[in-house]
Amino acid sequence: MGVSDKFIGFVMLLFSIFVFAYYTMWVIVTPFIVSDHWIQQYFLPREYGIIIPLVLVVVGITAIGTFLGLVMIKSKKNK
């Protein structure tokens, strides 16, 4: 038997919590920390705090639009 759905859901939840905490620290907290502080080495430059989510949103909207377009084309062919 494979890995249970509960375990996969738990791992996804832990990953989501980690990403949320990391992004929150990166975007909200690190601008108030001195730039030569040791914690700054664990974060990307601040520009990526805007670029990465923007790219993810554009890719997501493109994927959703492509999926909807393909479904509409396929349903039109079936009629």
DSSP 33: S
Whole-angstrom distance, CA of residue 24 vs CA of residue 12: 18
Quote the pTM value. 0.68
Two tokens, residue 58: 């554009």
The domain in which residue 27 lies consists of: 1-43
In terms of domains, do 49 and 35 share one? Answer: no
Element holding 28 (H helix, E strand)? none
In terms of domains, do 9 and 20 share one? Answer: yes
pLDDT the model gives residue 78: 77
| 42 half-sphere exposure, CB direction, 13 A CA radius | 10
In terms of domains, do 38 and 56 share one? Answer: no
Question: Tens digits of per-residue pLDDT, 22-75?
Answer: 999 998 988 898 988 898 888 888 889 889 999 999 999 999 999 999 999 998
- Dmax over CA atoms of the chain, in Å, equals 65
Find, among 49, 44, 48, 42, the residue nearest to 28 by Cα: 49
In terms of domains, do 12 and 35 share one? Answer: yes
In terms of domains, do 6 and 35 share one? Answer: yes
Question: Tens digits of per-residue pLDDT, 6-24?
Answer: 999 999 999 999 999 999 9
The count of domains in the chain is: 2
